[in-house]
Amino acid sequence: MFPAKFAYAAPGSLQEAVGLLEDPDAKVIAGGHSLLPLMKLRLAQPKLLVDIGRIPGLAYVRRENGTLAIGALATYRDLQFSQEVHEATQVLAEAAHEVGDPQVRARWCRARGRPQRRARHRPRWLLRRHADHCAR
């Protein structure tokens, strides 16, 4: 099946992406491997896809004011081997190790969603009970 018609934008800056995402019918992608199959089945029908995969500066793991900051394009591999993650919360590094295989961990990031939709592949830390999300 083919997806419903949609517009595609690949902004070059975070500010441009945030502006595009003011549209309530817009969805973020950074690869689209989770969203595109849903679109083909017409279970998701966004009017605009905003691809953030080429925006520089979104693949980071660092400490900011005593808080662990993880960029939208940081991969699970980044989390698995980050010294900052190991110091802040060992369970996050261990959970990142459980996602997929080495190839999946090197490619998939938080913005791209989960590599598997089945419940048994969802690490518990993805519940993000105490996480704050922001775009800067």
| Whether residue 66 sits in one domain with residue 123 | yes
CB-CB contact of 2 with 40 (8 Å): yes
Task: Show the domain range for 15.
Answer: 7-51
The answer to whether position 14 is within a domain reads yes
| Whether residue 67 sits in one domain with residue 47 | no
- 115's tokens: 């590599």
- Evaluate if residue 110 carries a pLDDT over 70: no
Q: What is the pLDDT of residues 44-84, one digit of tens each?
A: 999 999 999 999 999 899 999 988 999 888 888 888 889 99
**Exposure letters 2-35 (e unless 16+ CB within 10 A, then b):** ebeeeeebebeebeebeebbeeeebbbbbbbebb
- Evaluate if residue 94 carries a pLDDT over 60: yes
| Whether residue 41 sits in one domain with residue 84 | no
Whether the predicted model's global pTM rises above the 0.85 cut: no
> Domain total for the chain?
2
- Environment class of 132 (CB within 10 Å of its CB; exposed 0-12, middle 13-18, buried 19+): exposed
Q: Bridge partners of 63? A: 68
| Whether residue 24 sits in one domain with residue 67 | no
Q: What is the mean pLDDT of residues 89-105?
A: 76
| Whether residue 79 sits in one domain with residue 36 | no
User: Would strands 7-9 and 48-51 be described as parallel, antiparallel, or unpaired?
Assistant: parallel
